């Protein structure tokens, strides 16, 4: 396990652009997950049958927060992808010589930015852009700066929270193993696995809550009439 830190390890450079190890691992992980999804979609079998309960569990979790079954199905691809990617990204730090890409602030900031964009994309998609954008100036246009500050601060907190938890976990595990040697490998590994599962779930749930809260805060007239 490498020592985690604030400065990413640079693998190579493309001109003036430095490519860090976190970027390489992230893209390799995305490619592996994409290939696995394509293979499972084209060749249904026992493996796909084993994954269906997990997909249904994620759908029920999304529906428990969102409430509407139709909107839950719309949100599931994004939230489910976050859960699967973060679970694999958090656990990949257990492999010798690799660090979790989520221990890099640039990676968690990118994920938080994706959530920030998703909140507004889904808001426009499900409510229409007029109804969605109108809430930023209700009940007074003077609230617009505070709405913008709230959106940005929430995104920043989401990025720092995941980065801080994963990087501190790897740092603590490194120093414990450095001091204890091979005396406590199993408890440390179990702690890493549990924390990886927990942080992936929490990040996905926070993203879901932000999207669901945005939709509930400014529903379109069509959705209001359907609720009545």
Q: Is residue 180 part of a domain?
A: yes
Q: What is the pLDDT of residue 114?
A: 93
Task: Give the model's pLDDT for residue 84.
Answer: 92
- 3 inside domain: no
Residue 215 neighbours by CB distance under 10 Å: 23
Q: How many Cβ atoms sit within 10 Å of the Cβ of residue 211?
A: 26
The verdict on residue 143 lying in a domain is yes
* DSSP letters spanning 118-137: HHHHHHHHHH-HHHHHHGGG
Please report the sign of the dihedral spanned by the C-alpha atoms of residue 176, residue 181, residue 182, residue 183: negative
CA distance 168 to 150: 27
Measure the CA–CA gap between 26 and 69, rounded to whole angstroms. Answer: 32
| CA distances (Å), origin 90, targets 34, 101, 127, 187 | 18, 7, 34, 17
The answer as to whether 156 is a domain residue is yes
> What does the radius of gyration of the chain's CA atoms come to, in whole angstroms?
20
The answer to whether residue 75 is domain-embedded is yes
Q: What is the pLDDT along the chain (228 residues), one digit of tens a residue?
A: 444 444 456 676 777 777 778 888 899 999 999 998 888 777 766 667 778 888 888 988 898 888 777 778 888 999 999 999 999 998 887 777 778 888 888 889 999 999 999 988 888 887 777 777 777 777 777 878 887 888 888 889 989 989 888 888 777 777 766 676 555 566 667 777 888 899 999 999 999 988 887 776 555 444 434 433
Would residue 166 count as lying in a domain?
yes
Q: ∠ CA 189-191-195 to the nearest 5 degrees?
A: 120
Which pLDDT score is estimated for 111? 93
Measured CA distances, 212 to 78, 81, 200, 204 (Å): 13, 17, 18, 12
Flag whether 1 is in a domain. no
| Confidence (pLDDT) at 227 | 36
Four-point Cα dihedral 117, 122, 125, 128, nearest 10: -90
Q: What is the pLDDT of residue 218?
A: 53
- Residue range(s) defining the domain that contains residue 198: 10-227
Cis, peptide link before residue 34, omega less than 30° from 0:
no
pLDDT of residue 100: 86
Model pTM greater than 0.95?
A: no
């Amino acid at each position: 396990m490498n020592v985690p830190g604030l400065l990413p390890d640079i693998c190579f450079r493309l001109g003036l652009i430095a490519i860090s190890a976190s970027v390489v691992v992230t893209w390799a992980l995305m490619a592996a997950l994409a290939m696995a999804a394509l293979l499972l979609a084209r060749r249904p079998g026992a493996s796909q049958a084993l994954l269906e309960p997990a997909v249904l569990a994620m759908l029920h979790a999304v529906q428990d927060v969102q409430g509407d079954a139709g909107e839950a199905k719309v949100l599931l691809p994004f939230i489910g992808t976050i859960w699967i990617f973060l679970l694999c990204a958090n656990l990949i730090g257990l492999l010798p010589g690799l660090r979790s890409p989520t221990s890099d602030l640039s990676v968690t900031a990118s994920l938080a930015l994706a959530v920030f964009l998703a909140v507004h994309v889904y808001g426009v998609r499900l409510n229409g852009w007029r109804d969605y954008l109108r809430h930023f100036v209700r009940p007074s246009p003077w609230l617009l700066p505070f709405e913008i500050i709230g959106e940005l601060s929430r995104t920043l907190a989401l990025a720092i929270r995941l980065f801080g938890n994963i990087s501190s976990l790897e740092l603590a595990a490194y120093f414990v193993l450095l001091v204890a040697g091979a005396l406590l490998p199993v408890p440390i590994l179990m702690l890493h696995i549990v924390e990886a599962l927990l942080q992936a779930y929490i990040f996905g749930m926070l993203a879901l809550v932000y999207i669901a809260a945005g939709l509930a805060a400014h529903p379109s007239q069509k959705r209001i009439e359907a609720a009545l």
